[in-house]
Homo-oligomer: A and B are copies of this chain.
Amino acid sequence: MAALPFHGFQGRRLYINDVAMRDGLQIEPVFVPTEDKIALVNALSRTGLAKIEVTSFTSPKAIPALRDAEAVMKQIERVPGVAYVALVPNLRGAERALECRVDELNLVMSASETHNLANLRMTRAQSRHGLTEIVRAARGAATAVNISISTAFGCPMEGAVGVDDVLEIGDWFAGEGATGITLCDTTGMANPLQVEALCDGLAERWKGLELTLHFHNTRGMGLANALAGLNAGIVRYDASLGGLGGCPYAPGATGNVCTEDLVHMLQAMGCDTGVDLDALLDCAAQLPGLIGHELSGQVVKAGKSDRRHAPPADFAETRERALARDRA
Kindly report which residue of chain B lies nearest to residue A114, judged by CB atoms.
Answer: B311
Q: Tell me whether A305 and B6 are in contact (CB under 8 A).
A: no
Docked CA distance A253–B301 (Å):
6
Q: Which of A142-172 contact B (CB under 8 A)?
A: 154, 156-160
Residue A174 CB within 8 A of the other chain: no
Docked CA distance A149–B5 (Å):
26
Q: Given A126-B325, A224-B224 in contact, is the A192-B265 Cβ separation under 8 Å?
A: yes
Q: Tell me whether B9 and A5 are in contact (CB under 8 A).
A: no
Kindly report which residue of chain B lies nearest to residue A248, judged by CB atoms.
Answer: B309
Q: Given A117-B319, A123-B322 in contact, is the A298-B254 Cβ separation under 8 Å?
A: yes
A8, A219, A258 — most chain B CB neighbours (10 Å):
A219
Q: Tell me whether A309 and B7 are in contact (CB under 8 A).
A: no
Kindly report which residue of chain B lies nearest to residue A201, judged by CB atoms.
Answer: B3
Residue A10 CB within 8 A of the other chain: yes
Kindly report which residue of chain B lies nearest to residue A156, judged by CB atoms.
Answer: B309
Kindly report which residue of chain B lies nearest to residue A190, judged by CB atoms.
Answer: B305
Docked CA distance A217–B299 (Å):
10
Q: Tell me whether A191 and B268 are in contact (CB under 8 A).
A: yes
For A313-324 the 0/1 string (1 means CB < 8 A from B) is: 001001101110
